[in-house]
Amino acid sequence: MTENSKIEFDRIVQKYDKRLFNLLFRLTGDYDLAQDLAQEVFLIAYKEYSKFRGESNFFTWLYRIAVNHHRRHLRKQKVRSFFGLGERMPEEEASDPKALEQMENIEKLSQERIVRQAVAGLPAEFKETVALYYFEDQACDDIAKILDCSPGTVKSRLWRGRQILAQKLSGLNVANNQGGKNELSAN
């Protein structure tokens, strides 16, 4: 990578680091894991930067890497949990001051927390689509590029994801209290 490319890449990291972290935090629900995955994604993007052809905007390309990396992580995690390897113990988490601080911050936003938990409980294809659309304000066409599917598939996943969320949130008076794009109801 040339010196100019390195400078350009540093600028890109500074521009997108928070948005990338937010996406990964919404997908994982774990602050530390999201930080780790974000660093790994930027490392992958750095190594693969010369392969970026500019057919989409850089942000879409970066998100695509992030979603794929998250999927790989989930697959590895399933294998590890199947064999009982690498599970974090509850007492370990309770003694982690950073984790406690995060938990307190999340508690302050209880309604948002309920919605995020409901989104986190969605099957992966719906969770990714809903998170990109509602939390990252991505357009259906951009989501289709990120997830390597058609815009019709994105719309279908959004519709089904909203249906599932409406069922999960019914009775909690959470799903219908906002308007516009932020509304997560199936109506």
Q: What is the per-residue pLDDT across 127-172, written as a single tens digit (0 to 9) for each?
A: 999 989 988 888 999 999 999 999 999 999 999 999 998 888 876 6
Cα separation of 69 and 13, whole Å?
A: 17
> What pLDDT does residue 94 have?
45
Q: Of 8-12, 33-37, 167-171, where does mean pLDDT reach its minimum? A: 167-171
> What pLDDT does residue 3 have?
80
Q: What CATH number does the domain located at 1-108 have?
A: 1.10.1740.10
- Considering the chain, tell me which residue range(s) the CATH 1.10.1740.10 domain(s) occupy: 1-108
pLDDT tens track for 59-114: 888 888 998 899 888 877 766 555 454 544 444 444 456 655 555 554 545 567 67
Mean pLDDT value across residues 34-63: 87
CA distance to 120, 151, 170, per residue, from 115 (Å) = 9, 24, 11
pLDDT of 177 higher than 50 = no
Mean pLDDT value across residues 27-50: 90
The one-character DSSP state at 22 is H
CA 178 to chain centre: 22
User: Does residue 6 sit in helix, strand or coil?
Assistant: helix
Residue range 110-187 forms a domain whose CATH class is: mainly alpha
Q: Name the pLDDT band for 184 (thresholds 50, 70, 90).
A: low
> What pLDDT does residue 150 have?
95
Which one is predicted more confidently, 116 or 35? 35
- Considering the chain, tell me which residue range(s) the CATH 1.10.10.10 domain(s) occupy: 110-187
> What pLDDT does residue 104 have?
54
How big is the chain, counted in residues? 187
pTM score above 0.75: no
Cα separation of 146 and 142, whole Å?
A: 6
